[in-house]
Amino acid sequence: MTPRAPKFLAPYFSCLSAVLLLATSAQAHAQSQWQAHGYDLQLRPDFKQQTVSAQAKVRLQRAPDASSETNTLLRLNAPELDIQSASVNGQPLPANKQDGAWTITLPPDLAARQDLTLTLDYSARAGEGLVFGADYVYTAFHTCRWLPCVGSDLGRASLSVALDLPEGMSSLASGQAITPTHAPSAPSLQRWQQTQPYPLYTLGFAAGHFTHAQQVSPARDGRDGEEGLAPRETTLHYLGLADQPASSLLAKFKSTPAMLAFFSAKAGLPLPHASYSQLLLPGGVAQEASSYALIGRRMLDPILETEQEDWVIAHELAHQWWGTLISCERWSGFWLNEGITVFMTAAWKQQRWGEAAYQREMDIATRGWQRAKDAGFDKPLSWPGDYPHLSLKRAIHYSKGALFMHALRQDLGEATFWAGLKHYTQSHAGRQVRTSDLQAAMEAKAGRSLQALFDAWVY
């Protein structure tokens, strides 16, 4: 494949699987009385059987929009899991699979509670959501193929993971490592913790015989005029399989520190975690997770021939703020995750590679949007209906979304636009957002209504 091909295709394939969730997540949310707000997991991958056996303690709260009527059925939106046992406070509970979901029958006294902790023993098999190689494993969308999702996968939950691994393996998971996690000093039981709640679709883990390199990005002290940047030194980890020595990882990911400085300045916030990891894998994966990213060699290796082909590093890193730290409240707001991220990737390229590189990204987005127009399916960005094809959904959420951010930038001018984006980011860090939140932040800095512009593009 030529370097140009993945470049052209890339924005439309990156993170694409998230949109597959739309129908099932809406259905699950509508039927769920409960929402998970914390997962404590013990995971043991079996590389021969290509399974993961797990014990999960799932902390549940009654969903804010739950009916006041007591429902004794607790629904898990995870039909592919093999659940061996379920219990609350040591009391075994019946679990049955029906209608594409697991249901657990609660006694009335437990069903009436506002919160409870459910213990599950289960196993997950290789497939979409849990990808095995000979000596590695990683999770991918759809999260609910390996995690017992309760409630909407847009919901935010904390996570702790204890990975029981063969000797010599390294690991990666959402949040921060609380044991050594890189061979050869890592123990066989490796622990990670994501303390702040993040969207379920950004929670995950990986393990394998990884090569490793790291860089330390220095703390920023705000003296460059960027307000709101707490001093924080960031450790950047680059991981790969055996055919990717540390020197190769450092060469391919060398632009990461400069990108980190660019995005944190534009966000007005440091990277949410004290470290960020990028795992280079075979194939075309490109997926953000809380505190790390999975990047396929097909997406990144063109950088060896053309230094400007750095979009996938930028795209997944930008998601640490837009799409992960700040996440859409509904799937109709998915453009806030992807449109802003595609735009921010273009803005990075403009700053690093010049005006032509920015214009090239806008041209790619224009061609993407044109596909929706040609199909007679040019929808407002936050249109809540069903798209007939994923490519059309991506044409709107990724391409038209990025072009709308460009249009906002042109309308507001440089200083006001970037002040508005920073205000939006700082105001909603750690929360779910809807389009009206972006509009309000931009209007606050513009000092005028932007209703006509938002009406033309979004509503």
Nearer to Zn ion, 220 or 400 (CB): 400
Give the nearest distance from C-beta 313 to Zn ion in angstroms. Answer: 12
**Which single residue brings its beta carbon nearest to Zn ion?**
15
Q: How far apart are CB 391 and Zn ion at their closest, in Å?
A: 15
Nearer to Zn ion, 43 or 293 (CB): 293
Q: How far is the CB of 11 from Zn ion (least distance, A)?
A: 8
Question: CB of residue 92 vs Zn ion: minimum separation in angstroms?
Answer: 42
Residue 389 tokens, joined:
């094809």
- Is residue 159 within 8 Å of 193, Cβ to Cβ? yes
* Sites of contact with Zn ion (CB under 5 A): 14-15, 338
Q: Are 392 and 377 in contact (CB under 8 A)?
A: yes
Least distance between Zn ion and beta carbon 342 (Å) = 7
At 243, list the tokens.
């055919």
Cα–Cα distance for residue pair 89/399, rounded to 1 Å: 49
Three-class DSSP category at 281: strand
**Shorter beta-carbon distance to Zn ion: residue 56 or 295:** 295
Q: How many CB atoms lie within 10 A of CB 15?
A: 25
**Amino acid in position 24:** T
Helix (H/G/I), strand (E/B), else coil: 402: helix
Smallest separation (angstroms) from Zn ion to the CB of 37: 25
CA 364 to chain centre: 23
Of the candidates 230, 195, 92, 79, the residue with the CA atom closest to the CA atom of residue 146: 79
Nearer to Zn ion, 122 or 387 (CB): 387
Least distance (Å) between residue 400 CB and Zn ion: 15
Pick the closer one to Zn ion by CB: 22 or 78. Answer: 22
Q: How crowded is residue 228: how many other Cβ atoms within 10 Å of its Cβ?
A: 16
Min dist CB 437 to Zn ion, Å, is 19
Closest CA to 174 of 273, 267, 249: 273
Nearest to 317 by CA among 287, 355, 359: 287
Q: Say which residues have a Cβ less than 8 Å from residue 344's Cβ, sequence separation at least 6.
A: 263, 266, 314, 318, 322
How far is 338 from 384, CA to CA, in rounded Å?
A: 16
Q: Which of 119/256 has CB closer to Zn ion?
A: 256
Residue appearing with tokens 């508005």: 420
In the chain, helix, strand, coil percent, each to 5? 35, 30, 35
Least CB distance from residue 299 to Zn ion, whole Å? 12
| Residue 155 C-alpha from the chain's centroid | 12
Q: Which is nearer to Zn ion, 58 or 336 (CB)?
A: 336
Nearest to Zn ion of 76, 392 (CB atom): 392
Cβ nearer to Zn ion, comparing 153 with 338 = 338
